[in-house]
Chain A
Amino acid sequence: MKRSLALAMLLVSSLAPSARAANEADYKAAYAAAEAASKEAAGMRNQWTVTVSALAAAKKAADGGDFDRAVAAAREAEALAKASIFQATSEKDAWKAMEIR
Protein backbone atom coordinates (compact mmCIF):
# COMPACT_ATOMS: atom_id res chain seq x y z
CA MET A 1 0.00 0.00 0.00
CA LYS A 2 2.78 2.34 1.02
CA ARG A 3 4.72 1.40 -2.11
CA SER A 4 1.67 2.05 -4.35
CA LEU A 5 1.21 5.47 -2.79
CA ALA A 6 4.85 6.35 -3.34
CA LEU A 7 4.65 5.20 -6.95
CA ALA A 8 1.51 7.23 -7.52
CA MET A 9 3.12 10.35 -6.07
CA LEU A 10 6.18 9.81 -8.24
CA LEU A 11 3.98 9.45 -11.32
CA VAL A 12 2.05 12.62 -10.48
CA SER A 13 5.24 14.58 -9.87
CA SER A 14 6.76 13.35 -13.13
CA LEU A 15 3.69 14.49 -15.09
CA ALA A 16 3.45 17.82 -13.34
CA PRO A 17 5.75 19.82 -15.66
CA SER A 18 3.85 18.81 -18.81
CA ALA A 19 0.47 19.42 -17.22
CA ARG A 20 1.14 23.06 -16.44
CA ALA A 21 -0.87 25.67 -18.31
CA ALA A 22 0.71 27.00 -21.51
CA ASN A 23 1.90 30.58 -21.49
CA GLU A 24 2.43 33.20 -24.16
CA ALA A 25 6.01 32.11 -24.80
CA ASP A 26 4.84 28.53 -25.48
CA TYR A 27 2.25 29.88 -27.88
CA LYS A 28 4.74 32.10 -29.68
CA ALA A 29 7.16 29.21 -30.15
CA ALA A 30 4.43 26.85 -31.37
CA TYR A 31 2.97 29.50 -33.67
CA ALA A 32 6.35 30.38 -35.16
CA ALA A 33 7.03 26.71 -35.96
CA ALA A 34 3.57 26.31 -37.51
CA GLU A 35 3.89 29.50 -39.51
CA ALA A 36 7.28 28.47 -40.90
CA ALA A 37 5.92 25.09 -42.04
CA SER A 38 2.84 26.76 -43.46
CA LYS A 39 4.95 29.22 -45.47
CA GLU A 40 7.00 26.36 -46.84
CA ALA A 41 3.81 24.58 -47.96
CA ALA A 42 2.50 27.76 -49.58
CA GLY A 43 5.83 28.17 -51.37
CA MET A 44 5.29 24.70 -52.82
CA ARG A 45 1.84 25.84 -54.04
CA ASN A 46 0.26 23.22 -51.81
CA GLN A 47 -1.32 24.99 -48.88
CA TRP A 48 -4.26 23.26 -47.20
CA THR A 49 -7.36 25.16 -46.11
CA VAL A 50 -7.33 23.36 -42.76
CA THR A 51 -3.80 24.61 -42.02
CA VAL A 52 -4.94 28.18 -42.56
CA SER A 53 -7.98 27.60 -40.33
CA ALA A 54 -5.89 26.04 -37.54
CA LEU A 55 -3.43 28.95 -37.65
CA ALA A 56 -6.31 31.43 -37.44
CA ALA A 57 -7.82 29.48 -34.53
CA ALA A 58 -4.47 29.56 -32.71
CA LYS A 59 -4.23 33.33 -33.11
CA LYS A 60 -7.82 33.86 -32.02
CA ALA A 61 -7.34 31.73 -28.89
CA ALA A 62 -4.11 33.56 -28.03
CA ASP A 63 -5.79 36.94 -28.52
CA GLY A 64 -8.42 35.78 -26.02
CA GLY A 65 -5.72 34.71 -23.55
CA ASP A 66 -6.42 30.96 -23.89
CA PHE A 67 -2.86 29.78 -24.46
CA ASP A 68 -3.62 26.09 -23.92
CA ARG A 69 -6.01 26.15 -26.82
CA ALA A 70 -3.70 28.40 -28.83
CA VAL A 71 -0.74 26.03 -28.47
CA ALA A 72 -2.88 23.01 -29.34
CA ALA A 73 -4.19 24.73 -32.50
CA ALA A 74 -0.70 25.89 -33.50
CA ARG A 75 0.65 22.34 -33.12
CA GLU A 76 -2.22 21.04 -35.21
CA ALA A 77 -1.45 23.65 -37.87
CA GLU A 78 2.21 22.61 -37.89
CA ALA A 79 1.32 18.94 -38.27
CA LEU A 80 -1.08 19.73 -41.13
CA ALA A 81 1.48 21.94 -42.87
CA LYS A 82 4.11 19.21 -42.59
CA ALA A 83 1.67 16.69 -44.05
CA SER A 84 1.04 19.01 -47.00
CA ILE A 85 4.79 19.39 -47.55
CA PHE A 86 5.15 15.61 -47.51
CA GLN A 87 2.31 15.33 -50.00
CA ALA A 88 3.83 17.90 -52.37
CA THR A 89 7.23 16.22 -52.15
CA SER A 90 5.99 12.71 -52.78
CA GLU A 91 3.63 13.82 -55.56
CA LYS A 92 6.55 15.20 -57.57
CA ASP A 93 6.90 11.68 -58.96
CA ALA A 94 3.87 9.83 -57.61
CA TRP A 95 1.43 11.63 -59.96
CA LYS A 96 2.80 9.58 -62.85
CA ALA A 97 1.24 6.44 -61.40
CA MET A 98 -2.22 7.91 -62.05
CA GLU A 99 -1.56 8.93 -65.63
CA ILE A 100 -3.59 7.39 -68.44
CA ARG A 101 -1.11 5.94 -70.90
Chain B
Amino acid sequence: MKQRATVLLGSALGALAALVFAATRVVAADTVDPAADAKAFQNFFFQKFPTVKHEDFVNGPYSMNEDMKRQWREKEEFPPYEFSLDAGKEMFSTPFKNGKTYADCFPNGGIGIRQNYPYFDEKEGKVVTLELALNRCREANGEAPYSYVKDEMASLTAYMAFTSRGKPMDIKIPDDPRALAAFENGKRYFYTRRGQMNFSCASCHVQSPGERIRAETLAPALGILNAMPIYRSEWSGMGTISRRFVTCNSQTRAVPLEPQSDEYRDVEYFLSYVANGLPISGPGARP
Protein backbone atom coordinates (compact mmCIF):
# COMPACT_ATOMS: atom_id res chain seq x y z
CA MET B 1 0.00 0.00 0.00
CA LYS B 2 2.80 2.37 1.01
CA GLN B 3 4.74 1.40 -2.09
CA ARG B 4 1.70 2.17 -4.29
CA ALA B 5 1.27 5.58 -2.68
CA THR B 6 4.93 6.35 -3.29
CA VAL B 7 4.55 5.44 -6.98
CA LEU B 8 1.43 7.60 -7.30
CA LEU B 9 3.12 10.55 -5.58
CA GLY B 10 6.17 10.13 -7.82
CA SER B 11 4.01 10.11 -10.94
CA ALA B 12 2.13 13.22 -9.81
CA LEU B 13 5.39 15.06 -9.15
CA GLY B 14 6.72 13.94 -12.53
CA ALA B 15 3.60 15.22 -14.29
CA LEU B 16 3.84 18.52 -12.42
CA ALA B 17 7.48 18.91 -13.37
CA ALA B 18 6.63 18.19 -17.03
CA LEU B 19 3.86 20.79 -16.90
CA VAL B 20 6.18 23.44 -15.45
CA PHE B 21 8.82 22.62 -18.07
CA ALA B 22 6.27 22.84 -20.89
CA ALA B 23 4.92 26.15 -19.56
CA THR B 24 8.46 27.57 -19.43
CA ARG B 25 9.00 26.46 -23.02
CA VAL B 26 5.82 28.18 -24.15
CA VAL B 27 6.88 31.43 -22.48
CA ALA B 28 10.35 31.12 -24.00
CA ALA B 29 8.90 30.45 -27.46
CA ASP B 30 6.72 33.55 -27.23
CA THR B 31 9.63 35.82 -26.26
CA VAL B 32 10.89 37.88 -29.19
CA ASP B 33 14.65 37.48 -29.49
CA PRO B 34 15.81 38.89 -32.85
CA ALA B 35 19.50 38.17 -32.17
CA ALA B 36 18.79 34.49 -31.49
CA ASP B 37 16.53 34.32 -34.54
CA ALA B 38 19.21 35.82 -36.79
CA LYS B 39 21.82 33.41 -35.47
CA ALA B 40 19.55 30.40 -36.03
CA PHE B 41 18.56 31.69 -39.48
CA GLN B 42 22.14 32.13 -40.64
CA ASN B 43 23.29 28.82 -39.14
CA PHE B 44 20.49 27.02 -40.95
CA PHE B 45 21.80 28.18 -44.33
CA PHE B 46 25.46 27.83 -43.44
CA GLN B 47 24.85 24.21 -42.44
CA LYS B 48 22.55 23.44 -45.35
CA PHE B 49 25.14 24.74 -47.84
CA PRO B 50 28.50 24.19 -46.14
CA THR B 51 30.50 24.83 -49.32
CA VAL B 52 28.95 28.23 -50.04
CA LYS B 53 31.02 31.13 -48.71
CA HIS B 54 28.96 33.15 -46.28
CA GLU B 55 29.25 36.38 -48.24
CA ASP B 56 28.18 34.55 -51.40
CA PHE B 57 24.59 34.00 -50.20
CA VAL B 58 23.78 37.55 -51.30
CA ASN B 59 24.21 36.41 -54.89
CA GLY B 60 21.01 34.38 -54.69
CA PRO B 61 20.67 31.54 -57.19
CA TYR B 62 24.25 32.09 -58.42
CA SER B 63 25.54 30.93 -55.05
CA MET B 64 23.69 27.65 -55.53
CA ASN B 65 24.83 26.66 -59.01
CA GLU B 66 28.32 26.86 -60.49
CA ASP B 67 27.17 27.00 -64.13
CA MET B 68 24.78 29.84 -63.44
CA LYS B 69 27.50 31.66 -61.53
CA ARG B 70 29.86 31.47 -64.52
CA GLN B 71 27.21 32.89 -66.84
CA TRP B 72 26.42 35.65 -64.35
CA ARG B 73 30.08 36.64 -64.04
CA GLU B 74 30.26 37.02 -67.80
CA LYS B 75 27.07 39.06 -67.76
CA GLU B 76 28.51 41.33 -65.05
CA GLU B 77 31.03 42.66 -67.57
CA PHE B 78 28.09 44.51 -69.19
CA PRO B 79 25.48 44.37 -66.43
CA PRO B 80 21.86 44.82 -67.47
CA TYR B 81 21.23 47.22 -64.56
CA GLU B 82 23.86 49.68 -65.78
CA PHE B 83 21.39 52.00 -67.54
CA SER B 84 19.26 52.13 -64.44
CA LEU B 85 22.30 52.81 -62.27
CA ASP B 86 23.38 55.72 -64.48
CA ALA B 87 19.85 57.12 -64.52
CA GLY B 88 19.67 56.82 -60.72
CA LYS B 89 22.94 58.67 -60.26
CA GLU B 90 21.70 61.53 -62.43
CA MET B 91 18.30 61.63 -60.73
CA PHE B 92 19.93 61.62 -57.32
CA SER B 93 21.99 64.71 -58.05
CA THR B 94 19.33 66.62 -60.01
CA PRO B 95 17.76 69.29 -57.79
CA PHE B 96 14.01 69.35 -57.10
CA LYS B 97 12.07 72.43 -58.18
CA ASN B 98 12.85 74.00 -54.81
CA GLY B 99 16.58 73.58 -55.37
CA LYS B 100 17.10 70.84 -52.79
CA THR B 101 18.19 67.27 -53.63
CA TYR B 102 17.76 63.78 -52.21
CA ALA B 103 21.07 64.26 -50.41
CA ASP B 104 19.36 66.81 -48.15
CA CYS B 105 16.96 64.14 -46.84
CA PHE B 106 19.46 61.48 -45.80
CA PRO B 107 22.37 61.06 -43.41
CA ASN B 108 25.77 61.36 -45.09
CA GLY B 109 24.08 62.91 -48.11
CA GLY B 110 22.52 59.52 -48.92
CA ILE B 111 25.87 57.99 -49.89
CA GLY B 112 26.86 54.59 -48.45
CA ILE B 113 23.81 54.24 -46.21
CA ARG B 114 21.80 51.48 -47.91
CA GLN B 115 22.94 48.94 -45.32
CA ASN B 116 21.05 50.83 -42.59
CA TYR B 117 17.63 50.44 -44.26
CA PRO B 118 14.99 49.64 -43.26
CA TYR B 119 15.12 51.20 -39.81
CA PHE B 120 12.57 51.51 -37.04
CA ASP B 121 11.33 55.07 -36.63
CA GLU B 122 10.57 55.49 -32.94
CA LYS B 123 8.59 58.70 -33.55
CA GLU B 124 6.28 57.07 -36.06
CA GLY B 125 6.38 53.69 -34.35
CA LYS B 126 6.84 51.93 -37.67
CA VAL B 127 9.45 50.53 -40.02
CA VAL B 128 10.75 52.95 -42.66
CA THR B 129 12.21 51.43 -45.80
CA LEU B 130 14.56 53.14 -48.23
CA GLU B 131 11.83 53.25 -50.89
CA LEU B 132 9.43 54.87 -48.45
CA ALA B 133 12.07 57.36 -47.29
CA LEU B 134 12.78 58.34 -50.91
CA ASN B 135 9.13 59.07 -51.64
CA ARG B 136 8.76 60.95 -48.37
CA CYS B 137 11.75 63.02 -49.40
CA ARG B 138 10.08 63.80 -52.73
CA GLU B 139 6.79 64.75 -51.11
CA ALA B 140 8.51 66.90 -48.47
CA ASN B 141 10.09 68.81 -51.33
CA GLY B 142 6.88 69.31 -53.28
CA GLU B 143 7.40 66.49 -55.78
CA ALA B 144 4.93 63.72 -56.64
CA PRO B 145 5.86 60.30 -55.25
CA TYR B 146 7.13 57.61 -57.61
CA SER B 147 5.51 54.22 -58.11
CA TYR B 148 7.11 51.80 -55.67
CA VAL B 149 7.42 49.06 -58.23
CA LYS B 150 8.66 50.83 -61.34
CA ASP B 151 11.72 52.22 -63.00
CA GLU B 152 12.41 55.54 -61.26
CA MET B 153 12.32 54.03 -57.77
CA ALA B 154 14.48 51.13 -58.95
CA SER B 155 16.99 53.55 -60.47
CA LEU B 156 17.28 55.62 -57.31
CA THR B 157 17.66 52.62 -55.03
CA ALA B 158 20.11 51.04 -57.50
CA TYR B 159 22.38 54.06 -57.20
CA MET B 160 22.11 54.18 -53.42
CA ALA B 161 22.79 50.43 -53.14
CA PHE B 162 25.79 50.80 -55.42
CA THR B 163 27.33 53.37 -53.09
CA SER B 164 27.03 50.81 -50.28
CA ARG B 165 28.39 47.79 -52.12
CA GLY B 166 30.45 45.57 -49.87
CA LYS B 167 29.25 47.20 -46.67
CA PRO B 168 27.73 44.71 -44.23
CA MET B 169 23.97 44.91 -43.67
CA ASP B 170 23.54 46.69 -40.35
CA ILE B 171 19.91 46.79 -39.24
CA LYS B 172 19.16 47.88 -35.71
CA ILE B 173 16.22 46.84 -33.56
CA PRO B 174 15.83 49.37 -30.76
CA ASP B 175 14.72 48.31 -27.31
CA ASP B 176 11.15 49.28 -28.07
CA PRO B 177 8.24 46.83 -27.87
CA ARG B 178 6.83 48.27 -31.11
CA ALA B 179 10.09 47.49 -32.94
CA LEU B 180 10.10 43.95 -31.57
CA ALA B 181 6.46 43.58 -32.60
CA ALA B 182 7.33 44.77 -36.13
CA PHE B 183 10.14 42.21 -36.34
CA GLU B 184 7.83 39.46 -35.08
CA ASN B 185 5.10 40.52 -37.51
CA GLY B 186 7.60 40.36 -40.37
CA LYS B 187 8.71 36.91 -39.27
CA ARG B 188 5.10 35.74 -39.12
CA TYR B 189 4.43 37.11 -42.60
CA PHE B 190 7.52 35.33 -43.94
CA TYR B 191 6.48 31.93 -42.62
CA THR B 192 2.70 32.18 -43.20
CA ARG B 193 1.23 30.19 -46.07
CA ARG B 194 -1.02 32.12 -48.42
CA GLY B 195 -2.61 31.98 -51.83
CA GLN B 196 -4.28 29.07 -53.55
CA MET B 197 -0.87 27.41 -53.92
CA ASN B 198 -0.59 27.38 -50.12
CA PHE B 199 3.00 28.65 -50.20
CA SER B 200 4.79 30.82 -47.70
CA CYS B 201 7.93 32.80 -48.54
CA ALA B 202 9.77 30.06 -46.64
CA SER B 203 8.30 27.27 -48.80
CA CYS B 204 10.55 28.38 -51.64
CA HIS B 205 13.36 30.30 -50.00
CA VAL B 206 13.98 28.20 -46.86
CA GLN B 207 12.78 24.72 -47.77
CA SER B 208 13.88 24.68 -51.41
CA PRO B 209 16.75 27.06 -52.25
CA GLY B 210 18.88 25.65 -55.05
CA GLU B 211 15.93 23.59 -56.32
CA ARG B 212 14.16 24.46 -59.51
CA ILE B 213 10.65 25.75 -59.79
CA ARG B 214 9.83 25.56 -63.46
CA ALA B 215 12.89 27.08 -65.14
CA GLU B 216 14.07 29.10 -62.16
CA THR B 217 16.58 28.21 -59.49
CA LEU B 218 15.25 29.36 -56.14
CA ALA B 219 17.37 31.78 -54.14
CA PRO B 220 18.11 31.28 -50.45
CA ALA B 221 16.22 33.65 -48.14
CA LEU B 222 19.48 34.57 -46.43
CA GLY B 223 20.76 37.76 -48.05
CA ILE B 224 17.94 37.86 -50.58
CA LEU B 225 17.41 41.61 -50.10
CA ASN B 226 21.10 42.54 -50.11
CA ALA B 227 21.10 42.45 -53.92
CA MET B 228 18.05 44.67 -54.38
CA PRO B 229 17.01 46.28 -56.58
CA ILE B 230 17.48 43.77 -59.38
CA TYR B 231 17.25 43.55 -63.11
CA ARG B 232 15.18 40.45 -63.87
CA SER B 233 15.17 38.93 -67.31
CA GLU B 234 11.69 37.61 -66.50
CA TRP B 235 10.51 41.20 -66.00
CA SER B 236 12.61 42.60 -68.85
CA GLY B 237 13.46 45.40 -66.50
CA MET B 238 14.35 46.56 -63.04
CA GLY B 239 12.39 45.79 -59.91
CA THR B 240 12.36 47.09 -56.37
CA ILE B 241 11.88 45.19 -53.12
CA SER B 242 8.18 46.15 -53.28
CA ARG B 243 7.93 44.63 -56.74
CA ARG B 244 9.58 41.43 -55.51
CA PHE B 245 7.04 40.98 -52.70
CA VAL B 246 4.10 41.78 -54.98
CA THR B 247 5.31 39.28 -57.58
CA CYS B 248 5.92 36.55 -55.01
CA ASN B 249 2.38 36.97 -53.70
CA SER B 250 0.87 36.84 -57.20
CA GLN B 251 2.83 33.69 -58.03
CA THR B 252 1.22 31.89 -55.10
CA ARG B 253 -2.17 33.19 -56.32
CA ALA B 254 -2.55 35.52 -53.37
CA VAL B 255 -3.79 39.04 -54.01
CA PRO B 256 -0.73 41.20 -53.29
CA LEU B 257 -0.91 43.83 -50.58
CA GLU B 258 -0.39 47.47 -51.39
CA PRO B 259 3.33 48.33 -51.72
CA GLN B 260 4.76 49.65 -48.47
CA SER B 261 1.91 48.20 -46.43
CA ASP B 262 2.83 47.47 -42.83
CA GLU B 263 3.24 43.76 -43.59
CA TYR B 264 5.69 44.36 -46.45
CA ARG B 265 7.64 46.88 -44.40
CA ASP B 266 7.84 44.44 -41.50
CA VAL B 267 8.91 41.45 -43.60
CA GLU B 268 11.63 43.63 -45.14
CA TYR B 269 12.74 44.51 -41.61
CA PHE B 270 12.85 40.84 -40.61
CA LEU B 271 14.68 39.64 -43.74
CA SER B 272 17.19 42.48 -43.60
CA TYR B 273 17.93 42.01 -39.91
CA VAL B 274 18.59 38.27 -40.23
CA ALA B 275 21.06 39.11 -43.04
CA ASN B 276 23.08 41.44 -40.80
CA GLY B 277 26.79 41.10 -41.48
CA LEU B 278 26.36 40.00 -45.10
CA PRO B 279 27.50 42.53 -47.71
CA ILE B 280 25.26 44.73 -49.82
CA SER B 281 25.60 43.54 -53.42
CA GLY B 282 22.88 45.58 -55.15
CA PRO B 283 21.98 46.39 -57.73
CA GLY B 284 21.79 42.80 -58.90
CA ALA B 285 20.76 40.81 -61.93
CA ARG B 286 18.62 37.70 -61.88
CA PRO B 287 17.22 35.34 -64.52
- Which A residues form the contact surface with B (CB < 8 A)? 42, 45-50, 52, 80, 83-84, 87-88, 91, 94-96, 98-101
Q: Considering the chains assembled together, what is the distance between the CA atoms of A99 and B191 in angstroms?
A: 7
B236 within 8 A of A: no
Residues of B within 8 A of A48 (CB): 195-196, 253-255
B144 within 8 A of A: no
The segment from B12-20, B118-126, B198-206, B227-235 found at the interface with A is: B198-206
Least distance between B56 CB and chain A CB atoms (Å): 19
B188 within 8 A of A: yes
Closest A residue by C-beta to B202: A98
> How many pairs of A and B residues are in contact by the CB < 8 Å rule?
53
Given A87-B194, A91-B194, CB of A49 within 8 Å of CB of B253 = yes
Q: Considering the chains assembled together, what is the distance between the CA atoms of A22 and B50 in angstroms?
A: 62
Q: Considering the chains assembled together, what is the distance between the CA atoms of A100 and B41 in angstroms?
A: 6
28 contacts between A and B (CB under 8 A): A42-B255, A45-B263, A46-B254, A47-B254, A47-B255, A48-B196, A48-B253, A48-B255, A49-B196, A49-B250, A49-B253, A50-B196, A80-B196, A83-B196, A84-B196, A87-B194, A87-B198, A88-B194, A91-B192, A96-B29, A96-B191, A98-B203, A98-B207, A99-B187, A99-B191, A100-B37, A100-B44, A101-B40
B257 within 8 A of A: yes
Q: Considering the chains assembled together, what is the distance between the CA atoms of A99 and B41 in angstroms?
A: 9
Q: Considering the chains assembled together, what is the distance between the CA atoms of A101 and B37 in angstroms?
A: 7
Residues of A within 8 A of B253 (CB): 48-50
B138 within 8 A of A: no
Contact B200 A100 (CB under 8 A): no
- Which B residues form the contact surface with A (CB < 8 A)? 29, 37, 40-41, 44, 187-188, 191-196, 198, 200, 202-203, 206-207, 250, 253-255, 257, 263
Residues of A within 8 A of B44 (CB): 100
Closest B residue by C-beta to A53: B253
Which of B191, B198, B202, B254 is the one whose CB lies under 8 Å from A49?
Answer: B254
Closest A residue by C-beta to B222: A100
Closest B residue by C-beta to A90: B193
Residues of A within 8 A of B192 (CB): 91, 95
Contact A49 B195 (CB under 8 A): yes
Residues of B within 8 A of A100 (CB): 37, 40-41, 44, 206
Contact B193 A91 (CB under 8 A): yes
Contact B191 A98 (CB under 8 A): yes
Residues of B within 8 A of A95 (CB): 188, 191-193, 200
Closest A residue by C-beta to B195: A48
Closest A residue by C-beta to B197: A48
Residues of B within 8 A of A42 (CB): 255
Q: Considering the chains assembled together, what is the distance between the CA atoms of A87 and B37 in angstroms?
A: 25
Residues of B within 8 A of A49 (CB): 195-196, 250, 253-255
- For the A-B complex with A48-B254, A98-B207, A100-B41 known, give 15 more contacts whose Cβ atoms are closer than 8 Å: A45-B263, A46-B254, A48-B196, A49-B253, A49-B254, A50-B253, A80-B196, A84-B196, A88-B194, A91-B192, A95-B200, A96-B29, A99-B187, A100-B40, A101-B40
Among the interface residues A83, A84, A98, which one has the most CB atoms of the partner chain B within 10 A?
Answer: A98
